[in-house]
Structure 1
């Protein structure tokens, strides 16, 4: 079972899973066109999963529901997602076609952001990116750090299916934080080769992210020291390190 990233807009991915009969699970359809093109005249999807309310994640819902009326849409308890048929929260268990997923609340990017984990896959929207993380539009550094720590605790062979192709830019920042990390340097070389060949860098393995992604390593002395140097002050704990890293990344031009 291979998750398929469908490119949308400038750098989004809409994720697609297909079962043996060709029926699909669709994740974060910001645009209906790539989904309609991929599924063609095949059977309707089993369901649609939504991680959060931003338009580049839900903008295609109405058109998909017009094409396949009654398709279940699973989304967080969020009034800004008006096309949901099933509301989900932390710890909920979902049975969708042949697949089983657990819902994780991961606030920070937005207040109601959720992720879906199961079948060795993590659909994490804009919370965790390969070698990076999402901006905090509605949450606090402590919330976002806790959400990322929750994701980092999943099994190492979990494949991370995030919603944007940001990995190459994130690698530049990660190397500014931790330039002597051999795993990160190797990952950066792989990313460069993949993008030069116009191939996606995703999904990524979670154990690789734990070794390379500075936002998952806020307890690491090297990452802490880099964050403190950039912030110009001592940082009390991992959540403060995270906040300093995120502020650094917000203004980073690599």
Structure 2
């Protein structure tokens, strides 16, 4: 099966948009639409035409360009069923367990509530790709705006159950700040220490830190490591549930 071509680019201040292109059919999907002009310019730079638009959640920095892109390209717009009334121009609404086809590639829908109540991720198992927007970040996770801490932990747990070599595309460039916080939670984690140094170097060179992998996050991201004895000891939460430890880490990040 043909491998997909992927082009990631910055929009607005720190949003990432991703284009996925299938050369045989000339199908192209965008993951979210932070800014219509930026997406159009990216498409033009590659010589691609937008056929699909995969929305992850309703926040305006992910949906501002939806209407203009649909009007320009006539692309089909997909989005979360639980937020369909809050995202303009959705053609097909999706929820947990749904499966759609993108140019012969299976796309599984994973509901990931927490950041928003209807947030979804798009998983392409044959390409070992998952597009998670604002649920999971390198060394971090999204703020819990609409859901509960328990919902967010449940969402992260589902993502962490994917194969470790799954490549993870997130919606923002937040990694340098996430690394500084992560080191306050698990400073003795040598893999985290090394990764933090690599992130500093990448950002000083103007390089992106997205994508990441499930395996790398399992090794270094404190938000998905609440079962770490060192983290539990540092937080004084030995004997607490993973969800409770996660919630304390998220609360500390909110105040960091």
Query: Shorter-chain TM-score: what band?
Result: over 0.9
Describe the superposition over 1:36-84 as per-residue Cα deviations: whole angstroms up to 9, x where unpaired: 0011284532301011000001000011012112x11110011111211
Partner of residue 58, structure 2: 53
Q: Pick the aligned partner of 1:114 from 117, 120, 123.
A: 120
Partner of residue 21, structure 2: 18
RMSD of aligned residue pairs (Cα, Å): 1.5
Partner of residue 94, structure 2: 88
In structure 2, how many angstroms separate the alpha carbons of the residues matched to 1:2 and 1:179?
37
In 1, are the aligned partners of 2:203 and 2:209 still within 8 Å (CA)? Answer: yes
1:191 is paired with a residue of what secondary structure? Answer: helix
1:48 is paired with a residue of what secondary structure? Answer: strand
Superposed displacement of residue 138, structure 1: 0.7
In 2, are the aligned partners of 1:46 and 1:96 still within 8 Å (CA)? Answer: no
Superposed displacement of residue 202, structure 1: 1.0
Superposed displacement of residue 3, structure 1: 2.7
Partner of residue 12, structure 2: 9
Unaligned runs of 5+ in 1: none
1:189 is paired with a residue of what secondary structure? Answer: helix
In structure 2, how many angstroms separate the alpha carbons of the residues matched to 1:84 and 1:237?
38
2:86 is paired with a residue of what secondary structure? Answer: coil
Q: Pick the aligned partner of 1:160 from 168, 192, 205.
A: 168
In structure 2, how many angstroms separate the alpha carbons of the residues matched to 1:105 and 1:235?
29
Give the 3 Å change call, closer, same or farther, for CA 170–43 of structure 1 in structure 2. closer
Unaligned runs of 5+ in 2: none
Q: Pick the aligned partner of 2:32 from 28, 33, 44.
A: 28
Deviates more, 1:15-24 or 1:112-121: 15-24
Describe the superposition over 1:190-229 as per-residue Cα deviations: whole angstroms up to 9, x where unpaired: 111111110111111110000000010111111222233x
TM-score for the superposition, normalised by structure 2: 0.92
Partner of residue 145, structure 2: 137
2:216 is paired with a residue of what secondary structure? Answer: helix
In structure 2, how many angstroms separate the alpha carbons of the residues matched to 1:50 and 1:242?
27
Superposed displacement of residue 234, structure 1: 6.4
TM-score for the superposition, normalised by structure 1: 0.93
User: What are the within-5 Å matches in structure 2 for residues 215-234 of structure 1?
Assistant: 215-228=223-236
In structure 2, how many angstroms separate the alpha carbons of the residues matched to 1:72 and 1:66?
10
1:137 is paired with a residue of what secondary structure? Answer: coil
Partner of residue 193, structure 2: 185
Q: Is the aligned partner of 1:67 residue 2:72?
A: yes
Superposed displacement of residue 180, structure 1: 1.1
Deviates more, 1:50-59 or 1:38-47: 38-47
Describe the superposition over 1:101-122 as per-residue Cα deviations: whole angstroms up to 9, x where unpaired: 1000111001100001112111
The structure 1 segments of at least 4 consecutive aligned residues displaced by more than 6 Å after TM superposition are none
